[in-house]
Structure 1
């Protein structure tokens, strides 16, 4: 068992700064904090297996797991026996982020399913690590923004309770909103039949895949109408409509008015 004695700058984030790192450790790695810390600890497991232990509770950390330890919680964590643990971590002050995004439990552990959310969390942590190392202007604010993104993604998952395959499909639609979509290709990407994906998607979101795509496009069109002087035809094309009349019909369906009427009302 190894008890790490960290430098004085690691004795809590009383100064309000974010501390972070990226570790790949053998099973000799262990940290024991009998009195806890004055700040939050968050980890994101990439590979291997780790563990967290607080009085009366223990959790394993598998790939895709996000774990948070509340300030003041006695804890021990490390690499599981016979394993390596590859993970990213950060300490951040208690007051730095919105309280409603932080768990109430002393130890929170959630496995993130779905490639899209895992990738977003990975890149948020990667940006956090880069900003923490470079420490250029507003580096701490950028680190907190990345942490905020991770916590919002977790909060959204808890609220929506989406199947990971629906979540991935939503992400794919939003990333290629301007392109024609094929349900067969979306289904193949999440390893479902087209009919099964269509049923699961509507059951989860209340809308069909096509309706969801049109809703995304019209929301984007509404923003462009409100904040730019671009022509209606240009906006229709920009959000993915090759047929102008189809754009007009869809705008009426989702906004209950014409695009020109919407622009006039908003301005």
Structure 2
């Protein structure tokens, strides 16, 4: 188990404010279907050790990464590598290798050579599915390998000094995550007038990795804004029907009747404001 990690700009620790949120039961009605939850998911686990890809030294230098070009075929790629194109034809003609008859562009293919002859290939059919073909004494062997994503919970805390957008980026949040935060709190916070210098925020969200490489960002699991000393908390809950919603620690839905700060479709920008408020 890994310990809590920190992103740039996490000089103020708001984690206790989130960790100590009370557990509660939810019973709300959505589209005439009852949603029940006995307890919010635990959000106390924070990971800091981001995995790195492990490659054995015996094969690392032998694998050739192929950047598939538009119009490429396996036969053409074999020819560029001065390999027997008949092997490529045999592979693509096999019922398990038919996906190689129409290659997708990009860095999806790796080929292993042994004594300058074809030994193995790995083709990324999708993010979580890999086709592995290798030569054996009994001919070609085909295997489809399912790959599992590794999900890590990431914590980011920060202090708003200029604008929410600039301070969020400095703390390590992406633009898409900042838009998610605005969307979650748009019923409780007016980001045009409620933000002040010195206000703080804390966010826990998911990072997705595949073979040690980050491939995407998951949902916000919990978030806190401390505005002029007043806390605003949100916790994500997914019901038995797979519908995810955000709730306050008291079990009240974050979705109100009136929007205090409608989320814009454009990039969050800074602008002028009145008084001491800070534009987001």
Smaller-chain TM-score bracket? under 0.3
TM-score (norm 1): 0.24
TM-score (norm 2): 0.24
Decide which structure has greater strand share.
2
Q: Which has the higher contact order (CA 8 A, sep 6+)?
A: 2
Bigger CA radius of gyration: 2
